[in-house]
A and B are shown apart, each in its own frame.
Chain A
């Protein structure tokens, strides 16, 4: 007897049994209130309300869950996690495989993991820029949060550098022209200390921006690098950078400035005069 047949027997249910979803009484569907089971034709899900099942039904479901999970490849996920997992499963790594192959043996394993996650983030970010809906924007935020949660500030740096193309555009060519030791030192400066680039975010003030520029330059000057890149994504952050340029004119007179702005992304290169 299949899992569906067993469920139908437990609930005396004749409706369709496709995707099963466990819910409770707080679920936003009036049809499910006070009902142990309901088929939602809109989402094509069979909703089992765990607040409304009898002890006998609960026992039956427990046994079914055990049977389902005994199969090695089966899992039971929160709905959003399942959607996320499906998306990850269908993410085509082909475009990113070159960069992954290049860095796999060069950078520490946990950095590599952060890079893998960041490449997926970049992929989602590009989709979000194209589609532009709130759900995609939330997804970008969540993935970034997850990377930082797993890898800390180092993860934040890697995700910022990756989404801005630094791995293939700067670190990869750098690896090919310097010694292994110099690369490791520079890599640590760029990724570990985030010295090469400043990614402006909504919580930064003008003073924060200039003090971060100074701090990062003090690190990179030791390695002979006298420039820094400032990144701003979105209207607010771009305005923040421009506002900082106006307010802190004296500070920025010490630099040659190159600004590139397109599609709500601003990149400013500051080179110490």
Chain B
């Protein structure tokens, strides 16, 4: 199976690839609509610092947090 990851320092460049950017509060938003913040699979907004990855068509965001990852594992 193909494994794709990104380096911590390249978060912004990766986000650009999936048409997202970071607003002035450090939160991840849609490039096409900067007022729309993206959410995690459990409905929370997510900052660039918390950003751990994406799944499902770049629409589901994952936090780099043990609790988030445990919830992801259960899904």
Contact = CB atoms under 8 A, between A and B. Distances in A.
Interface of A: 3-4, 19-24, 26-27, 50-51, 58, 61-62, 65-66, 68-70, 72, 74-82, 84-85, 88-89, 113-114, 116-117, 120-121, 142-143, 146-147, 149-151
A17 B65 CA distance: 29
B3 A82 contact: yes
Given A21-B6, A22-B14, A74 B55 contact: yes
11 contacts: A19-B4, A26-B9, A69-B56, A74-B55, A76-B53, A79-B8, A80-B64, A85-B73, A88-B69, A150-B65, A150-B67
B39 interface: no
Contacts of B56: 69, 72, 75
A39 to B, nearest CB: 15
Contacts of A80: 8, 64
A66 B7 CA distance: 19
B62 to A, nearest CB: 7
B70 A21 contact: no
Contacts of B13: 22, 24, 50-51
B4 A20 contact: yes
B66 A120 contact: yes
Contact of B64 (A21, A84, A116): A84
Nearest to B66: A146
Contacts of B51: 78
B6 to A, nearest CB: 4
A77 B60 CA distance: 12
Contact of B7 (A27, A62, A117): A27
Q: Which of A23, A89, A116, A121 has the most CB of B within 10 A?
A: A23
Interface in B1-40: 2-11, 13-14, 16-18
B54 A75 contact: yes
Given A51-B13, A69-B57, A78 B66 contact: no
A81 B10 contact: no
A85 B5 CA distance: 12
Given A24-B10, A120-B70, 8 more contacts: A22-B6, A65-B4, A78-B7, A78-B51, A78-B53, A80-B64, A81-B52, A85-B73
B18 A65 contact: yes
Given A65-B17, A88-B70, A89-B73, A81 B58 contact: no
B5 A19 contact: yes
Contacts of A19: 3-5
Given A65-B17, A81-B62, A85-B73, A146 B67 contact: yes
B37 to A, nearest CB: 18
A62 B14 CA distance: 10
A61 B19 CA distance: 12
B70 A70 contact: no
A77 B11 CA distance: 10
Q: Which of B6, B17, B70 has the most CB of A within 10 A?
A: B6
Q: Which 7 residue pairs are nearest across A and B when measured between Cβ atoms?
A: A77-B53, A75-B55, A50-B13, A81-B52, A150-B67, A22-B6, A146-B66
B65 A78 contact: no
Given A62-B17, A81-B52, A85-B72, A76 B67 contact: no
